[in-house]
Chains A and B, each alone.
Chain A
């Protein structure tokens, strides 16, 4: 990635705050990242760290409290009404629970056509042909299954239908939030392979949110790690998994078990649980669980800085610099 490439999506200092003045919860506490055209950025982190809220804020399903979101150079946070809806067609989101995100009483064909009908982009035979094509692309036979109701389908099939619907408006960016987490292994493999194929075919750019580290690595070119509302590390997937720079990333990867009896169980298990986002620690948010924390970590918040090309880390003492000492 050269500096001259404009990112498709540029997010700066994004914050999302829930609650009233007295009980303020910063679910997303200043997050910045780019996603370049054609790439997949993975977003990982433990439950409650703010992954879904980040995704929803990008879609403006929840309102950001601060920061900027640019898609293809157009600022999204200041747009309203029709302009916003227009921009939204360039981004689509797919959620975890495939079954409840589809209306059980609608026919599959009409579900897939929802965005087309809403925008009245195509009608009649053209609409029919487009829907059939989308269904075939995701592996659902439009003739045999197109007229059936969503409730008659399994989780994996519903996820295929969701994908078909999300592609109807030919979006540039697809935000996938835990889209395979509820699926069984064999179905998960089908959907992940399908996603890779469609990405190539439609030239999609992806933000892939999930807590499963192996799944995220499988689909992502770069991965961002979140902890308590902030990004602590972001870098190329293979590099980040091989030589993490942030202590939290290292613990997270250490806890991911390899499906191989000969792989070691990493000795270091992160103790404790994440602190409440209602009352985050001062300085570095990870310091209450970090074995390398010093006084500085309590006083100064580490900023994301580039440590190698495309590899950023927010830690006063990145692991490679510690190792050198």
Chain B
């Protein structure tokens, strides 16, 4: 892939919060890139840094008590260190974000149509009439039945699935090149989840967007993304094409994630691969590999030196582990 095709290039990105208990490295040095019209999945357990990573890529950070270093090149625009004003010029137009809880991104006391109108008028400078017409189009686009009626309702009058569609409509208002969705279907029923995921996929094709999909649902990443990043304690521990990582993962934590989640296709009472413990406290990270306290392959070296990402067999597939699983290791026979 040539450099020009990269929509997003992230290099050594680190986000540290200064908390009363000391510095907290929520994102601890992350590098990856994303092509145009590609869907990248980011998986990891809660607290792994997925949300902070997305917010840092957007340049959405609290004003104080946070340090960001490294670089985020978004379609040629350097986000790290950019002024609020400069960032405002890309928000919604280059990059937009869909948050987990649709209620947090909608104003509960404003009719949904007005909320979309406002984005169109402020960001795109549309006049009132054009904005309304486009808002109705967007509501239709995201599959809201009878948009003209729904235009006038308040978010609280809609179901969770419908609210998430409205949030997606607001995110798409400025036709962004990159859409970042943070757990967009968590908390929704599976049948509604399927509707929303299908919608995102169709919109991605239609609008030629790239999508970053954060989820803890391995079924969602497996079937809906082409690239995958596995995060643990603020770092990437394995990444590559989704197919490759599912079939030939090398990092023990990736295996624990994949084989620890029950599968619909397995017979009932299949024993799950369970690893002990839970993710480490980011205020007090172990010295070497962050996974060492829970890893059955850990050696002294793991506890002393942190493994960096190294190449696996397939192009683009990398993992960070001193004692990787053998190459033949595969999830399903």
Contact = CB atoms under 8 A, between A and B. Distances in A.
- Give the interface centre of B45, B161, B264, B332 by most chain A CB atoms within 10 Å: B264
Given A185-B45, A188-B261, A217-B262, A257 B274 contact: no
Interface in B188-207: 189-195, 198
Interface stretch (B17-25, B119-127, B211-219, B301-309): B211-219
A184 B46 contact: yes
A214 B261 contact: yes
Contact of A263 (B223, B242, B269): B223
A241 B264 contact: yes
B45 A186 contact: yes
Contacts of A101: none
A261 B246 CA distance: 7
B266 interface: yes
A228 to B, nearest CB: 13
A273 B260 CA distance: 31
Nearest to B220: A257
Nearest to B228: A261
A154 B222 contact: no
Counting contact residues on chain B (CB < 8 A from A), the size range is 35 or more
A190 B274 contact: yes
A214 B265 CA distance: 8
Contacts, number: 141
A322 interface: no
Contact of A259 (B243, B263, B272): B263
A218 B274 CA distance: 14
A41 to B, nearest CB: 12
B262 A184 contact: no
Nearest to A213: B264
A110 B301 CA distance: 42
Contacts of B218: 185, 259
A38 to B, nearest CB: 13
A290 interface: no
A193 interface: yes
Among B46, B190, B195: residue with most chain A CB under 10 A: B190
A253 B223 contact: no
25 contacts: A47-B189, A184-B45, A184-B46, A185-B257, A185-B260, A186-B45, A186-B294, A188-B260, A190-B275, A190-B276, A192-B262, A193-B272, A196-B269, A217-B264, A217-B268, A238-B267, A252-B190, A258-B223, A259-B258, A261-B223, A261-B242, A269-B195, A270-B191, A271-B195, A273-B192
Given A218-B266, A258-B222, 10 more contacts: A184-B279, A186-B294, A189-B261, A217-B268, A219-B268, A254-B194, A256-B190, A257-B220, A260-B223, A269-B194
